[in-house]
Amino acid sequence: MVLPSTLSPPPLRTDVDGVVRIGGTRVPLETVVSAFDRGAAAEEIVMRFPTLDLSDVYATLTYILQHRAEVDEYMAGRRQEAQRVRAEVERRFDTSELRKRLLAHRDSA
């Protein structure tokens, strides 16, 4: 018996915001990468995120391993974007007074 040698594309899609997501779910690639880098197996990742399909996670892990440099570059870009958004939110919404009130409330309780 000869097995077919067709390769399926990875189950990755980029949404309108430029976020790479797994299969038809809203789970972002960085979630799977982070879990995998912390030592989670494919089955553990599916247990944590039940909307994921096990075969999609295995295919994604294969993609990560085969394209590590590109994935790391994407991850660095996502971290930069998160820092930019955080800085923008902090600039626009001063939370120091709210923090003081919350700490005072906690201390009085």
- The whole-number pLDDT of residue 2 equals 81
In this structure, are residues 71 and 22 in contact, taking their beta carbons and an 8 Å threshold?
Answer: no
Average pLDDT estimate for 36-56:
97
Domain count, the chain: 1
Residue 93 vs residue 86, higher pLDDT: 86
Does residue 32 form part of some domain? Answer: yes
Query: Looking at residue 63, which CATH number applies to its domain?
Result: 1.10.10.10
Does residue 5 form part of some domain? Answer: no
Q: Which residues of 50-60 are buried (b: 16+ CB within 10 A; e: fewer)?
A: eebeeebbbbb
Does residue 1 form part of some domain? Answer: no
* Residue 35 lies in domain: 12-108
Q: Is 80's pLDDT higher than 80?
A: yes
> Which pTM value belongs to this model?
0.79
In this structure, are residues 33 and 75 in contact, taking their beta carbons and an 8 Å threshold?
Answer: yes
Does residue 80 form part of some domain? Answer: yes
